[in-house]
Structure formats: C-alpha cells, structure tokens
Amino acid sequence: MNNIAISETANDTVPISRQTWWFLVITFLSLFHLISIELGGFTLFRMPDLLFYVAAVYYLLKVDDSIVIKKWLLFLFMYGLTYFVFAIGTGQNYREAIGGFRQLILLPIIGLFVGYNFCKNYQSYTGFIKTLRVLMYLSSMYLIINAFFGFDLEQEFGLIPRNVGIVFTIIIIWRLEQIVKTKEARLLAFVEISLSVLLIFFTSSRAIYVSVLLAIAYSLFKFSGIVKISRLIWSSVVVLMSLVTVFVIAQSNKAIKLQISKYIVDFAFFERGTKVNKSQVNNILWRYYAYTAQLKMISNKPVLGHGLGFEQKRQLFLEGPFAKYDPLKRTGHSYPLRILTHFGAVGLSIFTLFFWRIFSSNRNSPLSTSIRSFFIAVIIYSLFDVALYGWTPFILFVFFVFGFGIKLSILSSESLQDPRLISS
C-alpha cells in the first residue's frame, strides 16, 4: 500500500486551528521546560509533565473507542510495575525505583496514549508540521540574534538544545519527501532543509550528527523504490548543498570553526585528563569509563538485571579520573545499557519488541517516513546519551510523536478505503 501523497499546498492553506495551538503549547513546553516542582531536592514533575498527566486523565475519561495499542502498553506497564514492587519490597532505593519506573515505563506509555488520542483526523498532521516549522524559524532567529551579540565559545553544550535540534529531522525528511515525490516548493524545501541542518549542527553533538545522517540515509533508501532516480539524486544534492553551506559559512565565522574543532578535540586530548577546556568535559573519556563500569554491572546479573531500585549512578566511576565527581551528577549515557542494568537481557528483549511495535505501526501516512526516520535518529542517539531516560519532557514529546503517528497511520489507511474521511 502506497503512502498518502505529500503536498505543500495542503499544509499552507489549512488555517491554524485550535488543535494547532495545542500542538504549539505541547511542543514548546516539552522542548523548553523551565518550570519544575521539587520536594526535598527531588523533582516531582515539570510543567510539561503535568500537562501530559492532565491530558491522559482527560482522554481516559472522555475517549469512548478502545485504542489498538492498549494491550501491549498494558503488558509493558505490568512488567515495569512488577519490577517496581519488587524494588520497594526488597528495600532497594525507593527514589531510584520511582525515577526508573517513571522514566522508563510510565512516561513512554503516557506519551503514546496522549499522542494517539490527540490525532483526531487525517488533517491533524498539518498542525503538527506547522508547529515544527514555527519552531525551526524561531530557533533560526535565536541563532541570528546571538550572532550579533557573540557566542559563548567556551560552553560545553551546543547553542541549540540537543532535544530541540534532533526534532528537525522530521522537517528534513518531510521536505525531502516533497522533493522526490512532487515538484512543489523546491526552493522553500531547500531553505528549510538548510536551516534544519544548520540548527542540528549547532547542537554540537556528534551523536546527533550520526543519528540524523543515518535517518536521512534510511529515508533515501525508502524513496529509492518509489521515485525516479533523478529526483533521488536531486534530493541527495539538496542535503549535500545544505552541508556545504554550513562549512562555507564556517570560513568566516569563529563560532562555527570552534564547533567543528569539537569533533576531534576529545580524541586529541584523550590522555590529558577529564577536561579539554575550562568548561568542556572530555566526553570520550567519560563514556569510556561509564560504559566499562556498566558492562561490569551487567555481567553480574545479565538475565534479569539488578532491579529498578539499583543505584547505578553510585557504581559509575569508582575508579579513574572521574572518581571524585558528585555521584548524583553521574550518568551512564546509554539507554540500552541502562535497560540491561535494571532489567537484564530479558528486559532488553521486551523493550526491543516494544520499540519495534511502535516503528512498524507508523506506516502509510503523510508522515510515516518522517516519523520513522525521527524514530531511528532518537534510538541511535539514545545509544550514546540520556535522551530517553534523563529529559522527562523530551521523553513525553518523543512518544507523543510516535503515538500521533500510529493514529495517523490508521486514519490514513481508512482514508485510502474511503476518500471522504480525508476531510472529516
């Protein structure tokens, strides 16, 4: 079954609806979370978390039709709940157990549930795309303003938040799909792809660069079977021109030159200690010790793991140059390794099936390739960072997008059978 055609006109002529405004609220609160509620030094929730909790309760009370993801979400919930009860019952650290259950089990389920029910009809995707384009242009303005007032050249992290930058993968793939499938708005597509590439570049994250490039490679592979080779070549040229644009600007911009230097600086200073300048931690060295420590933990209980209440942070960096770091600020920087630590090989298999169900359920919609590519980018990025267990609003947003895509896929399949549903 072929995907629904992508049309630039359809997205520009649809007025901004109330649902689009809610898209804007959800997206900006999730990606720029500034308000949190704490108790005794423990973060209870952040404002976007509360928004999703309220939405989940609302849908539970108001939604009449059953959702197709209910059974496998219920299974994951019960599996995680079993580990949580065991952790509390055996006297493991209750804070670790609560945090692990919330980040690894509860938030993904809530995000999927809210996203699924938020998608009301086939045209809902237009509001989603409008929101991401607004986010892209506002982020671009932020960069331009900073260019006049000077960049913080010594900061460790990028000038664009990493959780924001990786979201622009959706814009890149959506625009590439327009290029290969239609002849509409190619100039605008090139501009928005270039802006997205520039914003992703300023996340200053090599893991995101690799993730996005592999996601683009996946999308071009998907397009190769359904379009003329000339259009595929043209789309590849657009991506390459966007990359070249960044490096051309770099010849006269000190900030971008510094960003490029960060690609190799960790490797160059691998033997020189924990920092490569006054604020930037040697991330390669950090990960080397973090991954080594986690693999040792996993080898002790490889099948069922240590449980949700296991204090993983305190077991990291027991030796080496990072041993004096605050245990509460330590992190393993790998989602699969954390799953293996807490749940073992059995748990990793269950989570793998969970993610495969999400991936395979996003199909035959106007955004299926974009969301699948975003899925690939997020999963690859999570191999090397805390994206899926450290940033709670981002966890909710990511799974919101996945749930939205699943429902859109169902509605798109129905619209192929009955075209009248497109305008419903």
DSSP secondary structure of 183-236: -S-HHHHHHHHHHHHHHHHTT--HHHHHHHHHHHHHHHHHHHTTS-HHHHHHHH
Q: Mean pLDDT score of the chain, rounded to an integer?
A: 76
| pLDDT at site 44 | 62
Do 32 and 163 form a contact (C-beta atoms < 8 A)?
A: no
pTM of the model: 0.83
pLDDT of residue 169: 94
What letter would DSSP give residue 35?
A: -
Instruction: Give the residue among 245, 203, 259 at the shortest CA–CA distance from 394.
Output: 203
CB 368, CB 226: distance < 8 Å: no
* pLDDT confidence of residue 395: 92
Beta bridge partners, 43, equal: 38
Containing 45, the helix (H) or strand (E) segment is: strand 42-46
The pLDDT value recorded for residue 94 is: 87
What span, in angstroms and rounded, lies between the C-alpha atoms of 186 and 192? 10
CA dihedral 374, 185, 408, 49 (to 10 degrees): 50
Tell me the average confidence (pLDDT) per consecutive run of 10 residues in the chain, 424 residues long: 42 53 75 62 69 83 58 89 93 88 93 88 84 88 71 58 90 87 76 88 84 89 65 62 62 58 50 48 72 87 90 65 58 88 94 93 89 95 88 89 92 60 36
Q: Give residue for tokens 């059978």.
A: 417
Q: Which residues pair with 38 in a beta bridge?
A: 43
Distance CA 32, CA 129 (A): 18
Tens of pLDDT, residue by residue over 16-31, are 566 676 777 777 777 7
pLDDT of residue 319: 62
Q: Are 392 and 49 in contact (CB under 8 A)?
A: yes
pLDDT digits (tens, 9 = 90+) for 348-399: 999 999 999 999 998 888 899 999 999 999 999 999 888 888 788 899 999 9
pLDDT given at position 331: 72
CA 77, CA 109: separation in Å to the nearest integer? 8
